Amino acid sequence: MKTNKKLFAGGLGQLTIPVIAIVLLVIFNLIRDPGFFGIAVMHNNDGNIVLTGNLISIINGASELAVLAMGMTLVTAACGGQDISVGAAAAIAGSVLVKVLKSASAINGGTVILAFCSACIVAMIFGAFNGVLVAVFKIQPMIATLILYTCGRSIAYWINGGATPTVSSPIINAIGSFIPGIPIPTPVLIVALMAILFKLLFHFTSLELFTQSVGVNGSAARLNGINSTFIKLLSFIILGVCVSVAGTIGVSRLGLINHETLLLDVEMDTILAVAIGGNNLGGGKFKISGSIIGAYVIQMLTITLYAMKVSSTDVKAYKAIVIILLVVIGSPVVKQRFGKLVEKLMSNKKTVSVKGAE
């Protein structure tokens, strides 16, 4: 409710656009089908009591995107550019996860943790690779990450070979679907955990402030004693952690890795989530919560279109239209114009008590 207070108390925050987008989508769906957001409690085929419904599908389905968007926000803020290799890197992380699981004699809690740690380390190394190119060699982030974007899925292929290896284990199933006894999908819980971890990280360190200052003006930050190279590198390594988490969720959902399709095209959705979240794509001020809401907006849009039986080949086109609108409305130019317009209206009415949008 904090965002709402901000919304009405003037000084429309960064979250205005994503929140308005979500509200509009909810209203649209409720008009279209009043039962759209109905949640049902039922038994799944494993005999667990679980929640199902469109709302659960949306929140659950957006999990990978939300996790990636958190890391992407940090990279965007620090470097003023985006990592377009997250999908390919997630395929690598997922492949490593499956490779380790398959080489273990039996899959138990320990091997799953080991596999995840291996995937995490590999993803962090690839993140560091991107980070070095960007931070040390000062290559444009999109160009630097283009390398991994191009070769990432080939690397993933080398790890496991051409077929689609599967892993079946109750633990993997619990990560990707439901933990027995908990009716909420596990990926949703993982997103919540990641969000809390980020909150704690920002609370106990000055990373948020440092990232922001590096993003706003790297040289000025350096003159103030902030190692901007390190901050940029760190943002990519943190994104690497997010990538491995997203890859793990993706693999666990089905207990299968298809290096060609795992989180395919997710990089574009991730960048969009960051943009819809009202973050400046040129670096500087950022809000991770905005990106998370952005991820849910994208997923809600997809599920809405599916529910309307729009052909999935057309979904991308419809999505593009909505997103163009959102991004244009959220652009500084429109915001400024809108702000001026509101100011004008205000001064005409001579009301000071209610400050409008800016």
Partner 1 sequence: MKKLRALVIAGVLALSCVVTACGAAGGGGSKTIKVGVVNNPPSESGYREANVKDMESVFSAENGYDLKTSYSLKNDEQLQAAQGFITEGVDYLLISAAETTGWDEVLKKAKEAGIKVYLFDRMIDVDESLYEAAVVSDMAKEGETAVNWLLDQKLDVYNVIHIQGAMGSDAQIGRTGALDAQFAAGTMNKVVQQTATWDEAEAKKIVESVINSGEDFNVIYAENDGMAKGAVAALDEAGITHGVDGKVIVMGFDCNKWALRELLAGNWNYDGQCSPFQAKIISDLIKGNTTSSTKKIINEEKGFDAKTLTQSDIDTYGLGE
Map residue 104 onto helix, strand or coil: coil
Distance CA 83, CA 142 (A): 6
**CB-nearer residue toward partner 1: 1 or 163:** 163
CB of 190 to partner 1, least distance (A): 16
The CA-atom distances, in angstroms, between 118 and each of 148, 237, 319 are: 19, 14, 36
Q: How far is the CB of 57 from partner 1 (least distance, A)?
A: 5
Point out which residues pair with 52 in neighbouring strands. Answer: 40
302 binds partner 1, rule: CB under 8 A: yes
CA distance 136 to 144: 11
234-263: contacts with partner 1 (CB under 8 A) = 250, 253-256, 258, 260-263
Q: Alpha carbon of 348 to those of 129, 341, 344, 345, 352: distances in Å?
A: 56, 11, 6, 5, 11
Nearer to partner 1, 150 or 154 (CB): 154
Site string for partner 1, 259-298 (x = CB under 8 A): -xxxxx----------------------------------
What's the min distance (Å) between Cβ of 44 and partner 1?
A: 5
Region near partner 1 per CB under 8 A, out of 6-14, 51-59, 133-141, 222-230: 51-59
Quote the CA–CA distance of 50 and 182 in Å, as a whole number.
Answer: 7
DSSP result, 126-193: HHHHHHHHHHTS---HHHHHHHHHHHHHHHHHHHH-SS--B---HHHHHHHS--TT--S-HHHHHHHH
Interface with partner 1 includes 178 (CB under 8 A)?
yes
Distance, in Å, from the CA atom of 87 to the CA atom of 257, rounded to the nearest integer, reads 13
Stretch that binds partner 1, among 15-23, 108-116, 162-170, 211-219 (CB under 8 A): 162-170
The distance of closest approach from Cβ of residue 95 to partner 1 in the complex, given in angstroms and rounded to an integer, is 13
Exposed, middle or buried by CB within 10 Å (0-12, 13-18, 19+), for 318? middle
Q: List the x/- string, 337-356, binding to partner 1 by CB under 8 A.
A: --------------------
Helix axis angle, 228-254 to 186-204, nearest 10°: 170
The DSSP code for 43 is: E
Of 54 and 244, nearer to partner 1 (C-beta) is 54
Query: Is residue 181 at the binding interface for partner 1, with CB under 8 A as the rule?
Result: no
| Binding status of residue 150 toward partner 1 by CB under 8 A | no
Question: Considering beta carbons, is residue 109 or 162 the nearer one to partner 1?
Answer: 162
Tokens 């993706």 label which residue? 250
- Considering only 19, 59, 61, 100, the residue that binds partner 1 (CB under 8 A) is 61
Q: Is 177 in the site for partner 1 (CB under 8 A)?
A: yes
Which x/- pattern over 93-112 shows residues binding partner 1 (rule: CB under 8 A)? --------------------
Which residues of the shown chain bind partner 1 in the complex (CB under 8 A)?
42-46, 50, 52-54, 57, 61, 154, 157, 161-166, 177-178, 185, 250, 253-256, 258, 260-264, 302-303, 306-307, 309, 311-313
